[in-house]
Amino acid sequence: GMLWVGTTGGGLCRFDAARARFSRFRARPGDPAALGSDAITAIVGDHDGTLWIGTDGGGLSRLDRSTGAIATVRHNPADPRSLSADRVWSLLEDRSQVLWVGTYGGGLSRLDLARKPFRHVRSEPGNPNSLSHDIVWSIYEDTDGILWVGTDLGGLNRWDRRSDTWRSWRYDPEDPTSLSHDTVRVITADRDGTLWL
């Protein structure tokens, strides 16, 4: 029954409608038990009720709603199993309880919430079966369990779970039925299953 609001510079706010009161969670530089940044870019609750908070430059924070405890993970260039980049723009927990983290410049980080650590999905120049771009704005899972990813200048991507390959759609000025632009910020579907970008 709480409303969670991410702000640009003011941290994370929780609104308790029953009490008509806001409480705030803020970053504290150098404190891993606080938000990584006060610039909040994405929020998602997982199957256990944990709140995951993406920040612009401060990595990924995890908030235990029952205790209020916060832990933040950041990119570590020396550890390939860490978060792929500290600028997190999109979050999604899929039906397999995998947390997908879309980053600015680091592609996707996959976190299996049961097993951990992070695995990465990156663009591979010259490989048409890879993610098309490493700036990921949006992530969406449709009713068939297909993962759709919107990128910056890389168009729309679809992940095939069985073959672990990617397919992308891009703008083609010669094709009026192609994607209208290669930057896809939002993905959703209507009740008929039609995808809207």
| Each residue's pLDDT tens digit, 8-24 | 999 999 999 999 999 99
Q: Report yes or no: 90 and 157 within 8 Å, Cβ to Cβ.
A: no
Residue type, 174: E
- Say how many Å lie between the first and final Cα of the chain, rounded: 29
For range 157-164, the mean pLDDT: 90
| Each residue's pLDDT tens digit, 61-110 | 999 988 989 999 999 999 999 999 999 999 999 999 999 999 999 999 99
| pTM listed for this prediction | 0.93
Sequence-ordered list of residues with C-beta below 8 angstroms from that of 64, at least 6 positions apart, any chain: 50, 70
Strand-pair partners of 2: 16
